Amino acid sequence: MRVRFHGVRGSTPTPGASTVRYGGNTSCVEVRLADGSLLIFDAGTGIRECGLSLLQEGFSGPIHLMLSHLHWDHVLGLPFFGPIWRKDTVLRVMPMLTEAQQQAAQARTLFDGLHFPVRAEHVPARIELLPEATSWRVGSAVVRRVPLNHPGGAQGFRVDDADGRSLTYLTDNELSPPTSPQISLDALARFAENVDLLIHDAQYIEEDFPLKKGWGHSTIGEVIELGQLASARHLALYHHEPTRDDDALDALDREIQASLREQKSPMQATMAREGWVLDL
């Protein structure tokens, strides 16, 4: 499995000189399976770059789009995803978690003539919504999902490829929400058990609380705890807080690495950055 991060920022794009190393584009991760099938997680502004590289490569297979939810930072790049402007593109979209999200996806809210000048019926690509199921066969992999703790609802995914490699994509998710959770820490650890790569929203640090309690994101400390509970091999800290620049993320990374060394943790942890490519 090859994983490529096209956008790692949470909540809003953060272009500028102080964020150029980790990148300012919002959520988008590209995954190539053992058989070459393509999955894209979220359509934040990072998906624009993803589209450019697919067009350059001449990729012609179906594109499987897994949206976590419909907040702006996860869909804003979709109108600028080059392959949708080609007639020969087949875009297969995973069902959304809630009925409200599914209705909004079917109405193609972004392409209603108000939010973007082109209406849905004039988008040339063939867009198919995959049927409801508990698991999906996508190329050489099986994909499953879980509900996450996030205002308005969000879904997370696990991909198990035929060659035994696996990953989970879990954003936006609050591991200790103030109200009764959709999913507990233990249940999520079981869902992510023994994955090669655990990608998780790590937007906050302790100092962000109590103000941001209930906003639907997790602290770095909680995410590390989840990774260790799940015995994940590698943790990718993702969906970075927009107010933290490169130097602030570097400082947090130094703390994380020191703490993992001290604990003699077998888990590797990396602050995800735009353009990072990882072979599992």
Query: What residues contact residue 254 under an 8 Å CB cut-off, 6+ apart?
Result: none
The residue whose Cβ lies closest to Zn ion is 71
Q: Is 196 in the site for Zn ion (CB under 5 A)?
A: no
Handedness of CA 35, 43, 202, 146 (dihedral sign): negative
User: Pattern 129-168, binding to Zn ion, x per CB under 5 A?
Assistant: ----------------------------------------
State which residue, 70 or 138, has the beta carbon closest to Zn ion.
Answer: 70
**Minimal distance in Å, beta carbon 76 to Zn ion?**
10
Choices 29-37, 66-74, 98-106, 190-198 (CB under 5 A): range interacting with Zn ion: 66-74
Choices 72-80, 159-167, 178-186, 226-234 (CB under 5 A): range interacting with Zn ion: 72-80
State which residue, 62 or 214, has the beta carbon closest to Zn ion.
Answer: 214
State which residue, 26 or 89, has the beta carbon closest to Zn ion.
Answer: 26
State which residue, 6 or 71, has the beta carbon closest to Zn ion.
Answer: 71
Report the alpha-carbon distance of residue 257 to residue 204 in Å, rounded: 17
Indicate the residue type of 141.
A
How many CA atoms are closer than 13 Å to the CA of 34, on its beta-carbon side? 13
Q: Is 172 in the site for Zn ion (CB under 5 A)?
A: yes
Q: Is 73 in the site for Zn ion (CB under 5 A)?
A: yes
**Minimal distance in Å, beta carbon 73 to Zn ion?**
4
DSSP class of residue 187 equals H
Report the alpha-carbon distance of residue 133 to residue 158 in Å, rounded: 14
Q: Is 174 in the site for Zn ion (CB under 5 A)?
A: no
**Minimal distance in Å, beta carbon 13 to Zn ion?**
11
Q: What tokens were used for 81?
A: 């995803």
Choices 64-72, 96-104, 124-132, 191-199 (CB under 5 A): range interacting with Zn ion: 64-72
State which residue, 73 or 160, has the beta carbon closest to Zn ion.
Answer: 73
Instruction: Please report where in the chains the tokens 């130094």 appear, as a residue.
Output: 254
Choices 48-56, 71-79, 86-94, 189-197 (CB under 5 A): range interacting with Zn ion: 71-79
- Ranges of beta strands (E only) in 33-165 are 38-41, 63-66, 90-93, 126-129, 135-138, 141-148, 154-161
- Angle at which helix 246-263 crosses helix 220-229, to 10 degrees, equals 40
Q: Is 241 in the site for Zn ion (CB under 5 A)?
A: no
State which residue, 172 or 174, has the beta carbon closest to Zn ion.
Answer: 172
On the 0-12 / 13-18 / 19+ scale of CB atoms within 10 A, 269 is buried
Q: What tokens were used for 163?
A: 């060659």
Confirm if 21 and 247 have CB atoms less than 8 A apart: no
Q: How many residues bind Zn ion (CB under 5 A)?
A: 3
Residues near Zn ion (CB under 5 A): 71, 73, 172
